[in-house]
Amino acid sequence: MISSLFNTFIHDPLYNGLVFLIDVVPFGDAGVAIILLTILVRLVLFPIAQKAIKNQVMIRRIEPEVSALRKKYKEDKVTLAQETMALYKRHGIKMTANIQLLLIQLPVILGLYFVFLRSGLPTIDMEILYSFVPAPERIQMNFLGLLNLSSQSVLLASLAGISQHIFTRLSFPPPTTAKPTGDFQDEMQRRMRFMFLYPMPIFIAVIAYVFSAAVALYWVTSNIFSIGQEFLVRRRLEKKETYGDTTTKN
Q: Do residues 59 and 49 touch, judged by C-beta distance below 8 A?
A: no
Rounded Cα distance, 55 and 37, in Å = 27
Q: For residue 250, what pLDDT is reported?
A: 44
- The 10s digit of each residue's pLDDT in 33-65 is 999 999 999 999 888 888 878 887 888 788 888
Q: For residue 180, what pLDDT is reported?
A: 57
Q: For residue 177, what pLDDT is reported?
A: 56
Q: For residue 178, what pLDDT is reported?
A: 53
In degrees, rounded to 5, the angle at the alpha carbon of residue 110 between the alpha carbons of residues 212 and 49 is 115
Q: For residue 33, what pLDDT is reported?
A: 96
Q: Do residues 33 and 213 touch, judged by C-beta distance below 8 A?
A: no
Rounded Cα distance, 182 and 230, in Å = 30
Residue ranges of the chain whose pLDDT lies below 70: 95-102, 173-186, 189, 241, 243-250
Distance, C-alpha 55 to centroid of its chain: 15
Q: For residue 245, what pLDDT is reported?
A: 54
Q: For residue 176, what pLDDT is reported?
A: 56
- The 10s digit of each residue's pLDDT in 219-239 is 999 999 999 998 888 888 778
Q: Indicate left, alpha or beta for 28 from its phi (over 0: left) and psi (-120 to 50: alpha).
A: left
> Taking the model in full, what pTM does it have?
0.82
Residues 6+ apart with CB under 8 A from 15: 115, 119, 125, 128, 129
Rounded Cα distance, 181 and 238, in Å = 30
Q: For residue 248, what pLDDT is reported?
A: 43
DSSP string, the chain: -HHHHHIIIIIHHHHHHHHHHHHHSGGGBHHHHHHHHHHHHHHHTHHHHHHHHHHHHHHHHTHHHHHHHHHHTTT-HHHHHHHHHHHHHHTT--TTHHHHHHHHHHHHHHHHHHHHHH--TTS--TTTS-TTSPPPS--B-EETTTEETTS--HHHHHHHHHHHHHHHHHHSPPPSSSS----HHHHHHHHHHHHHHTHHHHHHHHHHHHS-HHHHHHHHHHHHHHHHHHHHHHHHHHHHHHHHHHHHH-
Task: Give the domain extent around 114.
Answer: 2-249
**CA proximity to 219, closest of 18, 17, 38, 11:** 38
Q: For residue 247, what pLDDT is reported?
A: 45
Q: For residue 249, what pLDDT is reported?
A: 46
| Domains: count for the chain | 1
Rounded Cα distance, 105 and 111, in Å = 10
Q: For residue 239, what pLDDT is reported?
A: 80
Query: For residue 42, how many other CB atoms are within 10 A of its CB?
Result: 21
